[in-house]
A and B are shown apart, each in its own frame.
Chain A
C-alpha cells in the first residue's frame, strides 16, 4: 500500500517528479508532505496511480508544466519534489 514501511525505506532511491526531463513519464507512488501543498496536488489529481508527464519547463528552469489526467498543471520544482514516482515506470 501507499506509504508502507518498505516503501519508506526505499524512498531515498526513488525518483520524484521534479527529476524527470521534458517529455518523460512516470506513475505516482505517493505524495509526501502535508498541509495545503500536498492537498492541492492530490485534489488536482496527482495521487497514487496517476500517470504524469513533463510537458515543459519555464525559461528559467522553474516552474514546470505537468500533464495529468488529461489536464495541464503548473507547479514549482519544490512542489514536484513531493511527488514520488513508481520505480522504473
Chain B
C-alpha cells in the first residue's frame, strides 16, 4: 500500500510552489473521476521517502460548497474509492495572514491525522513587520512548524526532514484545539453514534469530523450526500440532532466560526508581534491604480484588448502556418498515392482531420498563457471585481467575463477558461451560453454572405456603411441573445441558492515561469488527447459522407470530357483552365450524388421556409465539424472555384449568379441574412461540443447546447427570411 500525504491549505498561500519544491519534475496530473478537478500527485522517492504527495485544490474550510472543496473534504475523510488513504497532512499556511489561515488549520486538527505546518511566505511577513515565535506557535497548534519561502526553495530541506519523520510514524496524530458549546459537541457525538446503524447501507462508518460537517453545514455537501443514499429517515435524524445542538438564536455555522476564530485570535496574540499600523505595501499601491474607478477601468480595457487581439490576430500566423503545413503534407503524401479513395481518405480525411484539431492549438495556448499569468499574478480576482456588476445583470458573476470575451476569438479555449469560475452553477451557465459569442470562424461566413448580397451603401457622410453595419449586427445578435439565455438558465436548470461572491483579493505576485509553462503543456496535451480524437473522428465521418458512394458513372463521364478537351484544345493556359473547370464540375457532381448530398435533399423541406434549397442544406450539414467548412462545401456543390479563404471576394461575386432549379436567383438579401443569423446562433462546431463534454464531464450539456442553439438558429433564420421577404427586399 502506497502511503499518501495530502498537501492542503487556503488558496493563494503558495501551495503549488511548495509542491513543486517537494516533487521537482517527478509528478503527474490528471482529473478526479467524474469532475474537472485537477488531481496532482508526485513521488518523494528521490528524497528517500517512500510516499506520494497529493496536491489538493485550495480550500478555506472543510464545509464544502464547490467541487474543489468537495474533493478536499472527501480525500481528507478518506471517502474517495481507489485513492490511497491519506496518512498525514502537510498544511501550507501563509505567515503574513496567520489568523485567517488558522481557521482551516483548526478544522484539520480534528481529523485525527499527523500534521506538519509549512509556514510559507516568511519573507512577505517579514516585510510587513510581522514577527512570529515559531516555538510557541508549534506548541499552540500541537504540530511541528517549518518556516518556508517556497518560491525560492528556502526551508525545503527542513520540511523534508519533518515529512520523513511523519512517514516513519514519529509524529503523533493532531489533537482538536477548539472547545465548542457542550450541546453542540454532544449532538455531534450522538449523530456519530446514530449513523453507526447505517454502516452496512453506506459500506463505511461516518467519522466524527464528517458528522460535525453534516450537522453544522445546513443543506451543505456532507448532509446532502448522506441523505441522497440514506433517505428521509436519515434527514429527520439530522434535523433532530441539529435542534439539540442549537444554543441561543445563532446558527451553528456562527457558533463554529466564533469558537475557531476565538482560538485563532488567542494563538496569534500569543505568538505574533504585529506593527501597530499595517504598512502600505507595493501591492496596495498597485491596487490603488488597478482597481481605481477611472484608471483601473482603463487598465482593464487595455489588458482585455491585448488578450483579445493576441488570440484574435496574434494566433493567425501560427494558424496559417498549421494550415499551410497541412496543405503541404497533403500534397506531398497525396503525390505518392494513386488517385482514388485511398488518396482522398488520407489527404482529405486523415490529414485534413488532424489539421482541424491542430489548428486550434495556437489560440488555446495563447489564451492559456494569458490566463495562467493573470491568475498567478493575482489580477484575475481584480478583473472579476471590476466586471461583477455588469455580469450580475444576467445572473452571472465577474468571473465569467474573461472566458466569455475569449469566445469572440474561439469558444474552444474560452470554454476551457471557465475553470476560473468558482461557482459550479455559474460555470455551467457560462459554458452553455459561451458559444453564442461570434467566434472568428463565423467571420468567414459573414464576410462572404455580406460581400455577395449586401449592397455597399454609406450613411452619415460615409462614416457608416451598410455592409459594416450588417457585420456589426451579426456580432451584436450573439451578445443580445446571451444575456437572456444566461438569465433563463440561471433561473431554471441552474436555479438554487444565490452563490456568494466573497473572494480573497490576494496580493500581487510575480508569476512563476515554471508553473506557467507546465500549465500550458498540460492544456495543450489535454486538448489534443481528450477533445482532439473526437474532433478528428467527426472530420473523418463527414469526409466519408461526402465521398461515398463515389459513383463510377460520374467518374467515367468526366474522364470522357477530359479526354475530349485534351484532344480538341491546344496545349496552354486555356486548356489548363478548361481542365480545372472540369475538375470543379466533377467534384460538384460527386458531392451532389454523395450520402451528404442525399441527406441535404432529404432535409430540404425543413429549410425551405427560410428560402434555402438542398444545396445550402447540404453545406450546413457538412459544416457540423466546423462552421468555416460551410463556404468551401457551398463552393464545391455549386461547381465554383474556391481555392482558399483569401479568394472569398471572387466567390462572393459568383454566388450572386447562382440560380435555383426554377430559374430564380438562389441567393437574395433575405436568404443571405437568414444564413448569417443561422450561423450567428447555431453551434455548428464539433470541437466546441467536445470541449463542453470534457469540461462538464457529461454529454448532456453538449447535447443541450447543440439543441437549444440549433433551435434558436432555425427560428432566427426563419423569422429573418420571412420578415425581410415581407418587407419586399
Residue ranges of A at the interface with B (Cβ–Cβ < 8 Å): 1-4, 8, 30-31, 34-45, 47-50, 56, 58-63, 65, 69-76, 79
Contact B500 A36 (CB under 8 A): yes
| Complex contacts, B254 vs chain A, CB 8 Å | 2-3, 30-31, 38, 42, 47-48
A-B interface, 7 closest residue pairs, ranked by CB to CB distance from nearest: A42-B257, A60-B389, A72-B505, A3-B249, A47-B257, A39-B253, A43-B61
Which one of A39, A42, A65, A71 contacts B385 once the chains associate, using CB atoms below 8 Å? A65
Interface size in chain B (residues, C-beta < 8 A): 47
- With known contacts A40-B65, A75-B502, A70–B258 Cβ distance under 8 A: no
Which one of A38, A58, A69, A73 contacts B388 once the chains associate, using CB atoms below 8 Å? A58
CB distance from A21 to the nearest CB of B (A): 15
Contact B389 A58 (CB under 8 A): yes
Contact B97 A71 (CB under 8 A): yes
**Between-chain CB contacts (< 8 Å), 20 pairs:** A1-B248, A2-B254, A3-B250, A8-B249, A34-B218, A35-B497, A37-B497, A44-B60, A45-B100, A45-B261, A47-B258, A49-B261, A56-B291, A58-B388, A60-B390, A63-B389, A70-B100, A74-B502, A79-B500, A79-B502
Q: Which residue of A lies closest to B423 (CB)?
A: A36
Is B499 interfacial (CB-CB < 8 Å)?
A: yes
Give the A-B contact count at a CB cut-off of 8 A: 132
Contact A43 B505 (CB under 8 A): no
Q: Which residue of B lies closest to A50 (CB)?
A: B261
Which one of A44, A50, A58 contacts B502 once the chains associate, using CB atoms below 8 Å? A44
Residue ranges of B at the interface with A (Cβ–Cβ < 8 Å): 60-61, 63, 65, 96-97, 99-100, 103, 217-220, 248-251, 253-254, 256-258, 261, 278, 291, 293-294, 296-297, 381, 384-386, 388-390, 392, 398, 497-505
- With known contacts A43-B61, A60-B389, A65-B505, A38–B100 Cβ distance under 8 A: no
CB distance from B59 to the nearest CB of A (A): 10
CB distance from A37 to the nearest CB of B (A): 5
| Complex contacts, A58 vs chain B, CB 8 Å | 291, 385-386, 388-389
Give bound CA distance, A8 to B249, whole Å. 10
Give the one of A40, A50, A56, A65 with max B CB within 10 A.
A40
Q: Which residue of A lies closest to B288 (CB)?
A: A56
Contact B505 A70 (CB under 8 A): no
Give bound CA distance, A72 to B288, whole Å. 13
| Complex contacts, B497 vs chain A, CB 8 Å | 35-37
5 more A-B contacts (CB under 8 A) besides A4-B248, A74-B504? Answer: A4-B249, A34-B218, A63-B398, A70-B278, A74-B388
Give bound CA distance, A34 to B65, whole Å. 14
| Complex contacts, B63 vs chain A, CB 8 Å | 39, 43
Which one of B99, B261, B278, B504 contacts A73 once the chains associate, using CB atoms below 8 Å? B504
| Complex contacts, A48 vs chain B, CB 8 Å | 254, 258
Give bound CA distance, A61 to B65, whole Å. 27
- With known contacts A3-B249, A38-B251, A79-B500, A73–B258 Cβ distance under 8 A: no
Contact A40 B500 (CB under 8 A): yes
Which one of A1, A56, A63 contacts B501 once the chains associate, using CB atoms below 8 Å? A63
